[in-house]
């Protein structure tokens, strides 16, 4: 396009126009900028082809794509295009040498690009009478530059040097305007000013205003830096925003926050009196500084209350066939327990009257109590939360802390509800028998309200201080022993007992569940690792001695780890463990032999005892020798067991002469009673018949059968009373390969809970008095053969009629 020349004014030219977005250029400078708009790109190409300069002027609004004349500033710069670097058909980087200032008169659009009618407008230099004013302005500008560089130290040294050495007024002001990081509107205002003196005044005003802003910003930064913690970046950012808002007078209105809280409070399904209490807490925020500690405490409290799942419930699933499959999938044996869980689900499907029924699973460690609870939650489709109570001594762990304390928080029950995200989860209270108590309160007493269906619909946590309905929560508790569960708490629970596993049950569990679980956990498959049935039995017998299967699972995991090492190292592609390789992988046999008597001995009787880890065989040893009538009791015996020993000794004196009991037994003979494994405390009355049998054997010289185990309490007159823990004791006798078990006759109903496998392997002898025990347990010699008694035998003894070994 050829420039149009006006006949009336030869200074007016028509040149291609480039609207500049956010960029202001000055004469006598070299600038480069990107050209991306189609018309601007065409204007550059037209100027190059026609050998014309271009006119560059800044847009008032940088967002406009097709600006009109009113959208452009009136003053711009004419420049010569020196270089164009094209990136695409519509994008290029242009290098322009700026020549002189010009004023925009009119713009034209021919469809391809804009052109502008311009007139050259030179800048008036400083007049002679204004030189002093100009020098004063320059000094003031230099002073402001000294201040500016303190706030903005990134200015180049060349710029500062030019500011101090340049004596040309026009060059001085334009050099600073070009290179200082000012807003483009401020630079444009300097460009539009035609007087150098006024340009100096304008630059001074801009620098003063910029220094004031930078000074305020510096003060804000210093204030924030004093308040913040170097390790808390989020805190720093919040304080900076607050300080800036304070300086601008734009602090946020706390009423918005209060209104938000009030709206959420009104939606809570609680009584109006509790809503009013929460609204009162929210209204306190309006009169507090936003960064005060008390405000943070109130916000935490309100957020905790409002985030609880007050109206969130999961729908229960009572499909018994599905529940049975889940229970059978995850558990072998435990038929009574699985039946009890299915009965529970069946009743729940018929009525909601027993919503708060509490089930307590009692059994030795590793027998599947926790996994049973998880399976019930899966069957019902409820969220599962486990809460361990072992070692809890503070009541606040259950009820929470009052908000008057620093660092107060809700109790574990409310935390479990928050974790589940619903108001009807299944919460497992694990190890309820191991709760403690001290000066901080009794947590078992706090649990009374939680587990009481008459009270827990209005459970009041100390932190919340408003009632929360726990009646829809399904609580299941676990314990190893019922003896240490507080009586009021025990009374609120429905007891379901889990017994120890037999040897065969452990084998099935290992084969059906544990092996596949550990193979998946360790990244192996059945082709890479296998173990024979005999090897599994050997692991059970020789490397574990427990009621559950935890140690068995650890030993299997150890075998799989060692096999994985061989496979990864390339030593083997698959590993098969059998009896010959087992000891090489697990080391020497670890399960120590039981201390039970394995031979027919005098004064040694095999008793049965119950512990929190299941039943055990506990031999009682008695020695009788000449002395002064002293009774020694060793083996960490408790008071009840010591009393049983004294009862046995008293009954011994009343036995007939047939058992060779001398009348001077308490005055001329010392008796020592010992229960092996002396480091283990022992107590309880169920060793009564064992103590009596061992005493009679030691005194009479009749050996005790090695294959008999016994349990039962004895009275002073020889009556055998019932005992507890019969099921576990029977399993212990079965594990130790006893043939006969003597039990109190009153315990016969308890045999219903003993598995058929155990009952079929044992000869059960119910007794009602000690005479029946002695007839079964003692080995009487044939007539004419001497007994091995260490006591003097009377020459005249009644004949032993009707007794057999």
The token pair at 22 is 């956010």
Strands 426-430 vs 614-626: parallel, antiparallel or unpaired = unpaired
164-180 burial code (b ≥16 CB/10 A, e <16):
eeeeebbebbbbbbbbb
Cβ atoms of 17 and 46 within 8 Å: the answer is no
Fill in the DSSP letter of residue 771: H
What is the distance between the alpha carbons of residues 541 and 75, in angstroms, rounded to a whole number?
Answer: 100
- Residue pair 418/308 in contact (Cβ under 8 Å)? The answer is yes
* Beta-bridge partner residues of 778: 704
Contacts of 6 (CB under 8 A, 6+ apart): 12, 117
Q: In this structure, what DSSP letter does residue 753 have?
A: G
Concatenating the DSSP letter of every residue in 557-589 gives: HHHHHHHHHHHHHTS-S-EEE-HHHHHHHH-S-
Question: Cα 31–33–34 angle (5° rounding)?
Answer: 165
Question: Quick one: which of 66, 80, 69 has its CA closest to 113?
Answer: 66
**Backbone conformation region of residue 366, classed left if phi is above 0, alpha if psi is from -120 to 50, else beta:** left
Is 729 labeled as catalytic in the residue annotation?
yes
Active-site residue (options: 472, 729, 735, 755): 729
Q: From CA 352, how far away is CA 340, in angstroms rounded?
A: 18
Q: How would you list the strands of the sheet with 708-710, edge to edge?
A: 631-634, 669-674, 614-626, 604-611, 708-710, 740-744, 763-767
Q: 3-state SS of the chain: helix, strand, coil percent to 5?
A: 45, 20, 35
**First-last CA distance in the chain:** 134
Q: Please tell me the distance from the alpha carbon of residue 470 to that of residue 356, in angstroms, as a whole number.
A: 8
Distance CA 220, CA 222 (A): 5
| Contact assessment for residue 360 and residue 478, using Cβ atoms and an 8 Å cutoff | yes
- Give the single-character DSSP code of 474: E
DSSP, res 287: G
What is the pairing mode between strands 669-674 and 631-634? parallel
What is the Cα 34 distance to its own chain's centre? Answer: 54
* Per-residue H/E/C for 211-226: HHHHHHHHHHHHHHHH
| Annotation marks residue 745 as catalytic | no
DSSP state letter for 506: H
CA neighbor of 615 nearest in space, from 363, 783, 790: 363
780, 729 Cβ separation under 8 angstroms: no
Catalytic residue among 499, 686, 700, 755: 686
The strand order across the sheet containing 426-430 reads: 384-388, 426-430, 474-479, 359-362, 494-497
Catalytic residue numbers, as ranges = 686, 729
């Amino acid at each position: 396009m050829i420039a149009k020349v006006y006949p009336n004014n030869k200074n007016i030219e028509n040149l291609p126009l480039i609207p500049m977005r956010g960029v202001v250029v000055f004469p006598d400078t070299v600038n480069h900028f990107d050209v991306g708009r189609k018309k601007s790109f065409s204007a550059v190409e037209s100027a190059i082809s026609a050998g014309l300069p271009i006119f560059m002027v800044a847009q008032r609004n940088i967002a406009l794509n097709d600006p009109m004349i009113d959208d452009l500033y009136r003053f711009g710069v004419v420049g010569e295009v020196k270089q164009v670097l094209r990136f695409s058909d519509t994008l290029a980087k242009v290098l322009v040498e700026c020549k002189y200032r010009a004023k925009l008169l009119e713009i034209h659009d021919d469809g391809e690009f804009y052109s502008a009618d311009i007139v050259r407008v030179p800048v008036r230099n400083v007049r002679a009478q204004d030189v002093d004013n100009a020098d004063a302005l320059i000094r003031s500008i230099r002073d402001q530059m000294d201040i500016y560089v303190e706030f903005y130290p990134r200015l180049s040294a060349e710029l500062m040097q030019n500011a101090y050495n340049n004596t040309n007024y026009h060059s001085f002001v334009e050099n600073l305007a070009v290179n200082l990081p000012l807003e483009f509107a401020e630079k444009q205002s300097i460009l539009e000013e035609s007087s150098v003196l006024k340009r100096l005044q304008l630059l001074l005003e801009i620098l003063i205003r910029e220094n004031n802003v930078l000074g305020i910003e510096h003060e804000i930064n210093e204030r924030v830096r004093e308040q913040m913690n170097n390790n808390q970046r989020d805190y720093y950012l919040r304080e900076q925003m607050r300080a800036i808002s304070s300086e601008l007078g734009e602090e946020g209105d706390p009423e918005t926050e209060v209104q938000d809280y009030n709206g959420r409070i009104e939606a809570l399904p609680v009584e109006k009196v509790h809503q009013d209490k929460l609204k009162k807490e929210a209204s306190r925020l309006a009169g507090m500084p936003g960064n005060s500690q008390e405000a943070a405490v109130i916000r935490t409290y309100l957020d905790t209350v409002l985030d609880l799942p007050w109206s969130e419930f999961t729908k229960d699933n009572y499909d018994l066939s599905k529940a049975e499959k889940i229970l059978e999938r995850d558990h072998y044996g435990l038929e009574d327990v699985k039946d009890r869980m299915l009965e529970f689900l069946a009743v729940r499907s018929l009525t909601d009257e027993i919503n708060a029924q509490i089930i307590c699973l009692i059994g030795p460690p590793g027998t599947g109590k926790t996994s049973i609870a998880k399976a019930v939650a899966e069957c019902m489709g409820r969220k599962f939360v486990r809460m361990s109570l072992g070692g809890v001594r503070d009541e606040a762990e259950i009820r929470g802390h009052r908000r008057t304390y620093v660092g107060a928080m809700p109790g574990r029950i409310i935390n479990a509800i928050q974790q589940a995200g619903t108001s009807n989860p299944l919460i497992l209270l694990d190890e309820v028998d191991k709760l403690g108590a001290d000066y901080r309160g009794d947590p078992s007493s706090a649990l009374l309200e939680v587990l009481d269906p008459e009270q827990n619909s209005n459970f009041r946590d100390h932190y919340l201080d408003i009632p929360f309905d726990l009646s829809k929560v399904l609580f299941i508790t676990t314990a190893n022993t019922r003896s240490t569960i507080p009586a009021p708490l025990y009374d609120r629970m429905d007891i379901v007992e889990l017994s120890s596993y037999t040897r065969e049950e452990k084998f099935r569990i290992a084969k059906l569940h544990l092996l596949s679980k550990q193979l998946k956990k360790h990244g192996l498959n059945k082709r890479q690792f296998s173990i024979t049935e005999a090897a599994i039995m050997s692991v059970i017998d020789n490397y574990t001695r427990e009621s559950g299967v935890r140690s068995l699972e650890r030993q299997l995991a150890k075998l799989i780890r060692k096999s994985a090492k061989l496979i990864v190292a390339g030593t083997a592609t698959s590993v098969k463990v059998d009896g010959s390789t087992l000891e090489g992988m697990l080391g020497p046999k670890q399960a120590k032999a039981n201390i039970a008597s394995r031979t027919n001995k005098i004064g040694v009787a095999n008793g049965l005892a119950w512990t929190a880890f299941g039943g055990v065989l506990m031999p009682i040893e008695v020695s009788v020798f000449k002395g002064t009538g002293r009774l020694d009791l060793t083996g960490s015996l408790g008071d009840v067991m010591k009393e049983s020993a004294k009862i046995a000794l008293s009954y011994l004196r009343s036995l007939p002469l047939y058992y060779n009991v001398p009348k001077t037994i308490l005055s001329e003979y010392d008796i020592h009673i010992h229960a092996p494994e002396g480091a283990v405390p022992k107590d309880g009355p169920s060793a009564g018949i064992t103590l009596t049998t061992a005493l009679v054997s030691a005194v009479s010289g009749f050996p005790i059968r090695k294959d008999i185990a016994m349990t039962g309490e004895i009275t002073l007159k020889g009556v055998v009373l019932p005992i507890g823990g019969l099921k576990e004791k029977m399993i212990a006798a079965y594990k130790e390969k006893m043939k006969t078990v003597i039990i109190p006759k009153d315990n016969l109903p308890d045999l219903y809970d003993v598995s058929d496998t155990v009952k079929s392997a044992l000869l059960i002898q119910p007794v009602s008095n000690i005479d029946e025990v002695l007839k079964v347990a003692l080995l009487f010699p044939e007539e004419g053969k001497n007994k091995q008694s260490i006591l003097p035998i009377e020459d005249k003894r009644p004949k032993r009629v009707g007794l057999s070994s």
